Structure 1
Amino acid sequence: MTKVYEAIADAFVAEGTSHVFGMMGDANMHWMNAVAERGVELFEVRHEGSGLTMADGWSRATGRPGVGATTCGPGVTQLATALVCAARARTPLVVFAGAAPLTDPGDSQYLDQRRFAEAVECGFVSVLAPARARTAVREAFWLARTTSKPVMISVPMDVQLAEFDGPAHYLPSTDLIDTTPVTPDPQRIQDAADLIAESERVVVLVGKGARSPEVAGLVIQLHERTRALLATTLQASNWLRDRTPYHAGIAGGYGTRIAHELMREADCVVAVGASLNQYTIWHGRLFPKADIVHIDRAGQVVPGDGRPVDCYVRGDARPALQQLITALGGRTPAGTGFHTPVVAERLREATTLREPFHREPDRLDPREVVLTLDRLIPERLPLVLGSGHQTDFGTMLFSRPREVVSNYGLFGAIGQAPLLTMGWTLGRHGQPTFVVEGDASFIMHLAEFDTACRYRWPVLILVMNDEALGAEYHKSEAHGLRRDLSAIRSPDLGAVATAMGGHGATVRTIAALEAAVGDFVADPEPTVVDIRITRAVMSVPFRRLWCGEEV
């Protein structure tokens, strides 16, 4: 006879599960053994939440639902931050969560998992009867895939050990999901084409929802046909930068001053696969006189300033752009648009750092660090950016057209980026990947560098170490508070990494940084480079927000 935990394992495998990240406990060990026996790779981590964030990174890399596993009680509560982060990032995850036995209501590790899941923006499916085991798995994967969010499947220990008495045949969730591309309404396409043709200065703004090889050529074609500026959201940073001299970079708070000035001249914005949240439109200040054409596969989306767009086209990016270009025909916006030598020169100037680097003994200027990294690290290596003040430098100054994964602004949780990187590199079949993170962020989940070393994941963790909570350090100054309260002494993280079985270096000069990065590029192994940076340099977004500077 088949036990419930075995039936659930069979269903996970039928759903395509190949990798599971988690930590074993008495409420999930039977299931973890069962999936391992069925050929699934298990990755044992040091903290349940860390494992789920690795599953998040794996999912972002593969486009498939990531899978995590946890025991009951404290194992479940450890997932809180990772679940909210995944929900805000719209990452499909399925979590196998063991639960306290139904027959022991006084169990010390009892938790109302349904209420917990609701509080952390997670879907919830329970298995309270043996016959429901496989149906619950299908429901969980269906929810994850169709709503793009994490879903917890809760299974009490005594139910897991019962005999499965449900149907033998299993129909996976993929058989129930219509993947036909969303075809846009022809009249909406015509309305969009009319708005664009009647404009003079167009911005084509692309987000993560449009970032794919099959869409790239269409974006460039529309950009050239309309003589538009090309801009991206934070989540599509630097995409197509190498395809045009009229790339304005990120739209929003991370944009350059010159890009802001040009975008305020726009009379039409064509947003493709972008949410148009308050950060992308800079709280309504970025496109004050522009008509907005918004292409997205979701239902009607209202931008972050609350003003409905002028023309919403519901559809997948590829067919919508193909039809829009056809509808434009030979019509083009009046005048030269943004495609002039003057605009091209201004955009080149926008990416040139004019201010001198700050010089301080044994401390590096974070701007010089980022520019050095961008020069040294090949474009084929993806970049993961975390959260916090130090991330601002990388977000604005990395400019090569590499693949970028940004975790900024989704929940504001520090410490997630190295974990995402570990899952990402595994999802990309061991592709070397580098991450830029702060010292407090990296140390928060330092134990997981051991996980990277055990599995020999080729991750390069670049720690921008100012020995402080950098954001709070600079905000304290702006609020007239004591900055020293946010300063925290840091150990030699290069030595720690070496002691944990990886490679490590602590650098205080550009030459030492070049040597450490060169070693990784030549032989990608789990590596930490502890880069000691000054606290004297404030990022451009912070200077805008907290000092009122026009930079």
Structure 2
Amino acid sequence: MKVYEALAEAFVHEGTSDVFGMMGDANMHWMNALHQRGVRLYEVRHEGSGLGMADGWARTAGRPGVVTTTSGPGVSQLATSMLCASRAGTPLVAFCGETPVGDETAVQYLDQRRFAAAIECDFVHVSRPDLAEEAVQRAFYTARTRSRPVMLSAPFDVQVKDFEDAGPYTPSTDLIGHARLLPDPAAILRAAELVQASKRVVIIAGRGARLAGAGEQILRLQEQTGALLATTLQAKNWLCEGNEHHVGISGLFGSKVAMELLQEADCVIAVGASLNHYTTEHGLLFPDASYVQIDTSPNLVMGHGKAADVYVQADAVTAVAELSRVLDKRPAGAQGFHTPEVRSRLAAPLRAPAEYHAEPGRLDPREVIHVLDAEIPPEIGLVLGSGHQTDFGTMLFQRSRDVLSNYGMFGAIGQAPLLTIGSVVADGGKPAFVVEGDASFLMHLSEFETAVRYGLPVLVVVMNDEGLGAEYHKAKAKGLDPELAVIPTPELGAVAVALGGGGATVRTTAELTAALSDYVRSPRPYIIDVRITRNVLSVPYRRLQYGEDV
């Protein structure tokens, strides 16, 4: 057996089923060995795109995604996507080929250890044949336990050497305990006392709570405490179905009603939510609140630089259930936010104004989101990009569906379609749609062909204002020339068809509805180029750029 075969075998034992990337001299032997072992290989058009897909795969599957590159430039292409994955806390292993050990004159030589540090991922080096299995085990162990990307760098000359099999491989999963992290009873008691003394409780559920499956426990605690339920952006619309006291996202993307109600809170219970500055508006959103924070991390500093009044390090399911159990033994609390007046304020759906902005050949982006939410079945998942045009969807999508958001992950545009492709692969080919801006989508247009090649039912809704939307509106607000941010685009619906997929360019709601019906009837790689006006500013930008109370 060769080292590259041992490496491939170890990846299989770690549960690797899908690998994204590009083949080159320094990883082709390893990829061939994976193929022989039944692993599905997805050849992409850019190495960074492959990492973005592995990122989306990992976020959906809940286990480490895998990307591969050849040496040197193949590795350097990973930079932006790797930083996004690192900031998102995505478990991921990048198998990177490397030039022969010690040959700094090689054309593709790169100090990959230093590069890995610069792009914020861990580094594991296959320095000798006998260390091959240990390197794979360590890479996956780190990815799983620290929830972060790891670069596994394998010099080509080491890969082709003989490997002496020392016995059965022990996967990293065998080294990790699977028991739920139990809460400290004293911490639960302090949390119960704080909650019991409060009259206006807010529960904020984050991605950690959703991944832990703590929905049932959170809803019970909400009923016990008369609490409002809010989510972070990463858990958008979770537990909203039939919940009369669900206020949506906490923070900049929240509605005006939500912000007004949340400011009345005297106690915030955060479950699997980091309470960063986005969620708390730097602490300004909860001026008079005490905090109970439940998380598996040893401790977290919140977005306003302070620690919670009571911090409970524990699994979300067990901690919330235990808090409810203790509260059951105490006198019933006040009704809190569960009043007819609050229900009346929350009853009006969050929607765009009755009169949309009329402009020949261009749609109001708020109306576009309303149509998308109504016409796309809730079982079709949603991926949200970043930038001004996706702000409309981030606020206005209301149906309960699986949502994956790239907002705030290094502030990089163009990543969301890549995440969507990886997510669809991880979900067994289940259809999903992504809402992205035109400049963002065109950055990785070539990967739509990847979706076509593998028959992945990805719907890309391009909110096309023919420009850099964020920069256009920021320039206007700052008194600069916004026309410098205008970039005409071709008919992307026709481009989609030319690449082998389905597509349409739409300028009316009737055309949009027809295109959506075509996709829903027959899910396949599809682009809907929605021409939208630049004369409507999103609520977050109205708040940030003009200080408007909306």
Bucket of the pairwise TM-score, normalised by the shorter protein: over 0.9
Amino acid of the residue matched to residue 188 of structure 2? I
Per the alignment, residue 373 of structure 2 pairs with 374
1:14 is aligned to 2:13: yes
Structure-1 separation of matches of 2:189 and 2:105: 64
Q: What does residue range 446-461 of structure 1 map to in structure 2 within 5 Å?
A: 446-461=445-460
Question: Does the CA contact (< 8 Å) of 2:124 and 2:151 recur in 1?
Answer: yes
Question: Does the CA contact (< 8 Å) of 2:379 and 2:401 recur in 1?
Answer: yes
1:526 is aligned to 2:525: yes
Structure-1 separation of matches of 2:335 and 2:39: 57
1:233 is aligned to 2:232: yes
Per the alignment, residue 73 of structure 1 pairs with 72
Q: Comparing 159-168 with 130-139, which one deviates more in the overlay?
A: 159-168
Per the alignment, residue 355 of structure 2 pairs with 356
Deviation of 1:215 (Å): 1.6
Secondary structure in 1 aligned to 2:278? coil
Structure-1 separation of matches of 2:353 and 2:48: 42
Per the alignment, residue 250 of structure 1 pairs with 249
Deviation of 1:402 (Å): 0.7
Question: Does the CA contact (< 8 Å) of 2:351 and 2:396 recur in 1?
Answer: no
Structure-2 separation of matches of 1:97 and 1:76: 7
Q: What does residue range 26-425 of structure 1 map to in structure 2 within 5 Å?
A: 26-102=25-101, 104-165=103-164, 167-212=166-211, 214-331=213-330, 334-349=333-348, 351-354=350-353, 356-425=355-424
Question: Does the CA contact (< 8 Å) of 1:474 and 1:538 recur in 2?
Answer: yes
Question: Does the CA contact (< 8 Å) of 2:86 and 2:121 recur in 1?
Answer: yes
Structure-1 separation of matches of 2:349 and 2:417: 30
Question: Does the CA contact (< 8 Å) of 1:237 and 1:250 recur in 2?
Answer: yes
Structure-1 separation of matches of 2:220 and 2:170: 42
Structure-1 separation of matches of 2:331 and 2:252: 30
Structure-1 separation of matches of 2:445 and 2:39: 26
Secondary structure in 2 aligned to 1:313? strand
Secondary structure in 1 aligned to 2:335? coil
Question: Does the CA contact (< 8 Å) of 2:352 and 2:367 recur in 1?
Answer: no
Structure-2 separation of matches of 1:262 and 1:429: 41
Question: Does the CA contact (< 8 Å) of 1:220 and 1:243 recur in 2?
Answer: no
Deviation of 1:429 (Å): 0.6
Structure-1 separation of matches of 2:18 and 2:333: 54
Secondary structure in 1 aligned to 2:238? coil
Question: Does the CA contact (< 8 Å) of 1:425 and 1:459 recur in 2?
Answer: yes
Deviation of 1:352 (Å): 3.9
Q: Deviations over 1:16-63 (max 9, x none)?
A: 111110100011101100110111110100001101111111111111
Q: Deviations over 1:103-150 (max 9, x none)?
A: 532001100000000011111000111111111111111111111111
Q: Comparing 333-342 with 531-540, which one deviates more in the overlay?
A: 333-342
Amino acid of the residue matched to residue 294 of structure 1? Q
Structure-1 separation of matches of 2:107 and 2:89: 33
Question: Does the CA contact (< 8 Å) of 1:298 and 1:314 recur in 2?
Answer: yes
Deviation of 1:167 (Å): 2.2
Q: Deviations over 1:280-301 (max 9, x none)?
A: 0011111000110111111111
1:271 to 1:191, Cα distance in 2 relative to 1, 3 A: same
Amino acid of the residue matched to residue 428 of structure 1? D
Deviation of 1:161 (Å): 1.0
Question: Does the CA contact (< 8 Å) of 1:205 and 1:232 recur in 2?
Answer: yes
Amino acid of the residue matched to residue 242 of structure 2? R
Q: Deviations over 1:192-227 (max 9, x none)?
A: 111111111110110010015842111111111111
Structure-1 separation of matches of 2:331 and 2:69: 56
Amino acid of the residue matched to residue 59 of structure 2? R
Question: Does the CA contact (< 8 Å) of 2:225 and 2:333 recur in 1?
Answer: no
1:392 to 1:78, Cα distance in 2 relative to 1, 3 A: same
Q: Deviations over 1:261-318 (max 9, x none)?
A: 1111110111100000000001111100011011111111110101221100110011
Question: Does the CA contact (< 8 Å) of 1:130 and 1:166 recur in 2?
Answer: no
Amino acid of the residue matched to residue 110 of structure 1? Y
Deviation of 1:347 (Å): 1.4
Deviation of 1:329 (Å): 1.2
Structure-1 separation of matches of 2:337 and 2:353: 24
Per the alignment, residue 511 of structure 1 pairs with 510
Question: Does the CA contact (< 8 Å) of 1:439 and 1:463 recur in 2?
Answer: yes
Per the alignment, residue 430 of structure 2 pairs with 431
Amino acid of the residue matched to residue 298 of structure 1? S
Secondary structure in 2 aligned to 1:283? coil
Secondary structure in 2 aligned to 1:279? helix
Secondary structure in 2 aligned to 1:399? coil
Structure-2 separation of matches of 1:174 and 1:332: 44
Q: Comparing 212-221 with 270-279, which one deviates more in the overlay?
A: 212-221
Secondary structure in 2 aligned to 1:359? coil
1:491 is aligned to 2:490: yes
Deviation of 1:448 (Å): 0.4
Q: TM-score normalized by structure 2?
A: 0.98
Q: TM-score normalized by structure 1?
A: 0.98
Structure-2 separation of matches of 1:361 and 1:213: 48
Structure-2 separation of matches of 1:333 and 1:352: 36
Structure-2 separation of matches of 1:242 and 1:105: 59
Question: Does the CA contact (< 8 Å) of 1:513 and 1:531 recur in 2?
Answer: yes
Q: Share of identical aligned residues, percent?
A: 59
Structure-2 separation of matches of 1:212 and 1:12: 24
Structure-2 separation of matches of 1:496 and 1:283: 43
Deviation of 1:168 (Å): 3.4
Per the alignment, residue 537 of structure 2 pairs with 538
Question: Does the CA contact (< 8 Å) of 2:225 and 2:335 recur in 1?
Answer: no
1:65 to 1:130, Cα distance in 2 relative to 1, 3 A: same
Amino acid of the residue matched to residue 433 of structure 2? F
Q: What does residue range 434-445 of structure 1 map to in structure 2 within 5 Å?
A: 434-445=433-444
Q: Comparing 463-472 with 328-337, which one deviates more in the overlay?
A: 328-337
Structure-2 separation of matches of 1:507 and 1:382: 22
Structure-2 separation of matches of 1:497 and 1:350: 35
Deviation of 1:166 (Å): 5.6
Specify every segment of 5 or more residues in structure 2 that has no aligned partner in the other structure, as ranges.
Answer: none
Structure-1 separation of matches of 2:212 and 2:243: 16
Question: Does the CA contact (< 8 Å) of 2:125 and 2:153 recur in 1?
Answer: yes
Amino acid of the residue matched to residue 61 of structure 1? T
Question: Does the CA contact (< 8 Å) of 1:226 and 1:332 recur in 2?
Answer: no
Structure-2 separation of matches of 1:323 and 1:181: 13
Deviation of 1:353 (Å): 3.1
Structure-2 separation of matches of 1:499 and 1:168: 52
Structure-2 separation of matches of 1:287 and 1:112: 47
